[in-house]
Structure 1
Amino acid sequence: MVKAIDLSTAGIHVGYAIETTAGTKPTAFIDIPNPKSIPDFNPEVGSYDVTSLNDTVWKRYIDGLKDPGGALAITFGMSQVFLDLWEELCDAYETAKESNKRMWLEFYHPRLTKAFFFTCVPARLGWSASDVDNAWDTSVSVTPTGEIGWNTPIVPTAATE
């Protein structure tokens, strides 16, 4: 029997890519620097009551849809590099959507044989909360649009300057 060894979150990357061909998952992702927090993306399956008048002991249900809950907030360390990258990412998405191309995000852990992917719509960055004597983090919002699941990882590469 193989013994499972729990992983730490050290080494996780968040990457993005814009489709080069509409409807086709990209083959290269750009690393978004300094991710700090990724929300839970493991929604419960909805269910529908299909109990009939013939049932006498138990209710019966069928699976419904999974609901990721709308926009997800992903936290990153704030820097000029991050701000510039996020603005470029949003600009690239705005241009791509005119050609029915989508943006993809990837959550990548170097010790897993699969990465988690989904298509999404990014929201432009506002001003993030600021406190005295703290590291400055910011949360960005992305709204999942589909194509959600695990697949072969594509190691994200650093953005070129």
Structure 2
Amino acid sequence: MAEKGNIAGVSTVGSLTGYAVETVAGTKPTKFIMLHRINASDEITIDVETIDASALEDEIERTIAGRGSTGGTFNVTVNVTDETIDEWEKLIAAYKTGKASDLSMWYEEYFPSLQKAFFTKIEPPTKIPKPARDQNGLLTVSMSLTINEYVGADTAIKPTEEE
């Protein structure tokens, strides 16, 4: 590992994206299936809601921190190919199968230069959305993922090809 302060930042080149359904409810899976041709992924911010803690004697409102809010969804932009359509159809089917057994789907964003990856328990769209078209453009589709729980940074598990 490099000495502290020697790394200017982390490139997204070579980053991977994966998903997995729990085999034991509430436990992070140990194997993630790689999703290909991901162009972009929205950030998940944690906005803190406030609670009014004012009393009658206060002339100016007083607040305290409440719970954090993720906004509920984030989008993933995917290159549309026959292969990526097949991958996302399998992901949606795996989610439905897992949900029927009360098992969550996990989504991972993996960076080769980091020891931790970013994990979110998600619900995918029920169908692959229709992509927009541009003249002389790359055909992409935006997958809106519902955030069931933002897990955050945890030990990375490199996504692998589906067997």
Alignment pair present for 1:26 and 2:4? no
Equivalent residues of 2:106, 2:120 under 8 A apart: yes
SS at match of 2:145: strand
CA drift of 1:2 comes to 3.1
Query: Which stretch of structure 1 is more off in the superposition, 82-91 or 127-136?
Result: 127-136
Q: Does residue 40 of the first structure (1) align with residue 47 of the second (2)? A: no
In the alignment, is residue 144 of structure 1 matched against residue 147 of structure 2?
Answer: yes
Moved over 4 A (4+): none
Q: 1:125: which partner in 2?
A: 128
Q: Deviations over 1:78-103 (max 9, x none)?
A: 11111001001111111111110110
Q: What do you get for the CA RMSD once the two structures are aligned?
A: 1.8
Q: Tell me the TM-score normalized by structure 1.
A: 0.90
Partner Cα separation in structure 2 for residue 6 and residue 54 of structure 1 = 49
Match of 2:160 among 150, 157, 160: 157
Q: Secondary structure at the match of 1:95?
A: helix
Name the SS for the 1:129 alignment partner: coil
Matched, 1:73 2:91: no
Distance 1:87 1:36 in 2: 18
How far 1:127 sits from its partner (Å)? 1.5
Output one character per residue of 1:86-123: Cα deviation in whole Å (capped at 9) or x when no partner. Answer: 00111111111111011000111111121110111110
Identity value in percent: 35
Aligned length: 159
2: CA distance, partners of 1:65 / 1:35: 31
User: Separation in 1 of the partners of 2:116 and 2:38?
Assistant: 19
Gaps of 5+ in 1: none
Q: Which residue of 2 aligns with 1:107?
A: 109
Paired position in structure 2 for 1:11: 14
- Following the alignment from structure 2 to structure 1, what is the Cα–Cα distance between the partners of residues 101 and 150? 18
- Asked whether the equivalents of residues 129 and 142 of structure 2 are also in contact (C-alpha less than 8 Å), the reply is no
